[in-house]
Amino acid sequence: MRLYEYQAKELFREYGLPVPKSVLARDPAEVKRAFASLKPPVALKSQVLAGGRGKAGGVALVDRPEDAEAEAKRIFALRIGGEKPTALLVEEGYPHDSEMYLSVTLDRGERSFVAIGARAGGVEVESLSGKVIRKVPVDGIDDKFAEDVASELRLEGSLAAQFAKILLSLEGLAREKECELAEINPIAVGKDGTLLPLDAKVIVDDNALFRHPEFSKLHPEDEFEGEASRQGFAFVRLEGDIAVVGNGAGLVLSTLDLVGDAGGNPACFLDLGGGAQQDRVEAAIRLVNRLPGATRILVNIYGGITRSTDVAAGIRAVISEGGLKPLYARVSGAEEEEARRMLSGTAVKMFKTAPEAVAAVVKGA
Amino acid sequence: MILPRRGEPVIVQNMTGRYGRLHTRLMLDYGTNVAAGAAPGKGGQSVEGVPVYDTVAEAVAKTGAKASVCFVPAEFTLAAGEEALNAGIKLLVIITEHVPVRDELRLVQLAQSRGASIIGPNCPGIIIPSQRAKLGIMPAPSFSAGSVALYSRSGTLTYEIAGQLTASGYGQSLAVGIGGDPINGTTSIEWMDHVQGMEDTKAVVVVGEIGGDAEERLARHIQKSGYAKPIVAYIAGRHAPKEKKMGHAGAIIYGDYGTADSKIRALRSAGVEVAATPMEVPALVKKALA
C-alpha cells in the first residue's frame, strides 16, 4: 500500500526525520488560508499516488496569495494517471544548492533490503550515477553502518552526521512499519548546509498490514476494490469494457494479454483464488456484472481443484437472478462436458479454448 | 536441493485445516507418502487415517520425514517455518499466500543456515510424476511423466501449461511453482542450475510474469553459464497496467522496472525461445527438441 506524501511525512515526523512546515488543504480556499500561514515561496503539491507528478504539472511553486488560489484550482482539476487529488499539500519552500537521494528498499534479486544513497537527487533512482548500495540486515542497522554509507558517499563533517542520522531514522521507520520502500528523493542541501527531505515515498507491505492496524484507515477505497477485497478476491479496476474473471493470478494476467492482443480492453482483473467453489464464482460474477463500464464478461477457468461443474452452477445461479451481461466462458478441466451441458440453452457462450473465448468476447459476437 | 522421491515420508503442517485435509487426501490419492500431520493442540487426531501430532518435532521423530508441506495461515507461517527448519526438515514447501516479506527473508536466512531448501511461499508446490511424488496442491491429471522441467511463478498457469504439454505428449520430469511473492525460497536461477544436472530432463520451460528482475537475472545467468539445455519461456503481463499489484504480491511494475517487455527482450537475447501465449509453449518445446 502506497501512502500519500502527506501521510508519509507524518510518519517521518513520528520517526524524528526533519520535513518542511506544511498544511494539508482540501479545496482552493483552504490552500489560500494555508498559504497565508507559511513563508513564501510555497509549494502546492497534488496528493496522488500515481508517479510522474512533477512532469504532469501536479506541483507549483508560488509567491503570491492570488497565484496560490489560481494554481490550486488548476491542480485540483488535474488528473494524473487517471487520478484526481482530493487534497493538496501546501508546503514551505526550501531554497537549496543541491540535492541528494536516500532509500531503504527491497532488493528482490539479492533477497535483502538495501539502503541506497546518492549525492544527486530529484530524478529516478535508476538514472542516478555514483550510487552507494548496501545490504540492510533483517534486524536493522547501527551507527557504524550509517556512518560508513555517508563516508562512502564522500560526505564530511556536519553533512555526514546529518545524513547518517537521517539514514538511521529512515531504516527504523522502514523496518518497524514493514515498508517495501521508504524513499527520500530529494533531500535538499540548504545554503547553510542543513539537510531537509523534500519528498517522501512510502510503500507498506500489504501482507504485513495485519500487524499494523494504524494503516487500515488511511485510504479512501474504490467501492469495487473494497468489496472485492472483503470477498477475498484479487481485483484491479481497469479502463476497458471487458470484465475478466479467472482462477489464479497468472492465468488471469495471461488472459488480459490475450484480450489485449486481440484488440480488446479489459475492464478489470479478478482472480477468484485457488479452490474456488460455487458461492465464490457467483459472488465474483455478481460483482463484475455491476461494474460500470463493463459491457461483457469473460470467464476463464482452468478447472483443477476448482470443479468445472461448480463454476457452471455459479454462473447458472447468477443467470436466474436476471440482468446478466453477455458472458463468454472457457471452462476446462475435469467434468468440463458436464459443465457445458449445464449451461447449454442459456445465453452463456461456452468455448473449448481461451483464444476462442477471447476472440468472441472482443468481437462481442 | 534434495528432491522428493517415491515413497519417502512427508508431513503436512496444519493438516487439520480445510486445505490441509483436502490436500492430504489428494496427495495420498496421487501416491505421496503423507506419513504424519502437525497442528498445535490437535495431537492425537487423524486425517485420512494419517496421525496428527502437536509439533513438527514429534511428527519427524515418528516418521523420519525430511519434507514438509505447510498450510499454516500467513500470520503464523514464520513461526511454523522456523519450527519445521529447527526440527530438521530439509525441504519445506510453503503453500500459504500473503506472508509478509520480512518473515520470508527470515525464513530464507534460517533455511540457508540449516542447509535446507524452501519452495514458495505463495506457490502450488512441486510434483515429480515419475516418482508419484506430489508435495502441493496441483491437480494431478494435468501432469504426466516425461523429460520437460517446468517451473513457474504462477499456479494455475503452471497447470494450464502442464496440461497442454501433457496433451501434446510432453510429460514433465518435474514441475514446480516457485512462488508469486517478491521473495522466493528457491530462485529461478537455483532451479535452472538444479535442472541442468537432471539427466532425465531434455528441455526446460520457464513461466514468468511482470514484477522484479528475476527473468533478467536468469537471462544473464544463462548467457554467462552457457546453459546446455534448450529453454522455452512464457511471460504473462504484456498488457498489465503499471503500479498495480496483479494478484500476486510480486506481480507489479514500478516505472520501467518489472515490465514483461524487458523480460522478454532479456530472455530472447540469451537465446531463449519466448512464447507469445501459453498455447504456443508445446510447439516451441517440440521445435527445441527437434
Tens place of pLDDT per residue across chain B (290 aa): 889 999 999 999 999 998 999 999 999 999 999 999 999 999 999 999 999 999 999 999 999 999 999 999 999 999 999 999 999 999 999 999 999 999 999 999 999 999 999 999 999 999 999 999 999 999 999 999 999 999 999 989 999 999 999 999 999 999 999 999 999 999 999 999 999 999 999 999 999 999 999 999 999 999 999 888 999 999 999 999 988 899 998 999 888 889 999 999 999 999 999 999 999 999 999 999 98
- Contact of B70 with B56, CB cutoff 8 Å: no
With a CB-CB cutoff of 8 Å, which residues 185-244 of chain B face chain A? 187, 207, 209-210, 212-214, 217, 234, 236-244
**Closest by CA position to A39, among listed A88, A98, A87, A95:** A95
Which residues from B are below 8 Å from A206, CB to CB? 98, 245, 249
Asked, for residue A177, whether it belongs to a domain, the answer is yes
**Banded pLDDT at A335 (limits 50, 70, 90):** confident
pLDDT above 70 coverage of chain A, percent: 98
Cα-based torsion angle of the residue sequence A259, A264, A266, A269 in order, rounded to the nearest 10 degrees: 0
Residues A235 and A341 occupy one common structural domain: yes
CATH number of the CATH domain containing A145: 3.30.470.20
pLDDT for residue A221? 64
Residues A109 and A190 occupy one common structural domain: yes
Q: Is residue B93 classed as helix, strand or coil in its secondary structure?
A: strand
- Contact of B238 with B261, CB cutoff 8 Å: yes
Last residue of a domain, one of A62, A92, A122: A92
Cβ–Cβ gap A109/B213 under 8 Å: yes
What are the backbone angles phi and psi of residue B7, rounded to the nearest 5°?
80, -10
Model pLDDT for residues B35-81, shown as the tens digit of each residue? 999 999 999 999 999 999 999 999 999 999 999 999 999 999 999 99
Q: How far is A351 from chain B (nearest CA, A)?
A: 15
Please give the ipTM for the structure prediction: 0.93
Does A170 score more than 80 pLDDT?
A: yes
d(CA A183, CA A161): 19
Q: How many beta carbons lie within 10 A of that of residue A197, not counting itself? A: 25
* pTM of the complete model: 0.94
B221 tagged catalytic: no
Asked, for residue A267, whether it belongs to a domain, the answer is yes
**Banded pLDDT at A18 (limits 50, 70, 90):** very high
- Contact of A102 with A198, CB cutoff 8 Å: no
Residues A176 and A274 occupy one common structural domain: no
Model pLDDT for residues A288-328, shown as the tens digit of each residue? 999 999 999 999 998 777 788 888 999 999 999 999 999 99
Peptide bond into A18 cis (omega under 30): no
Asked, for residue A289, whether it belongs to a domain, the answer is yes
Kindly identify which residue of chain A lies nearest to residue B187, measuring between CA atoms: A109
- Contact of B17 with B74, CB cutoff 8 Å: no
pLDDT for residue A45? 97
Residue A200 domain boundaries = 96-214
3-state helix vs strand vs coil in chain B, percent to 5: 40, 25, 40
Does A122 score more than 90 pLDDT?
A: no
Residues A86 and A103 occupy one common structural domain: no
The structural domain count of chain A equals 3
Half-sphere exposure of B169 (CA within 13 A, CB side): 3
Among B18, B98, B102, B161, most A C-beta atoms within 10 A, so best to mutate, is: B102
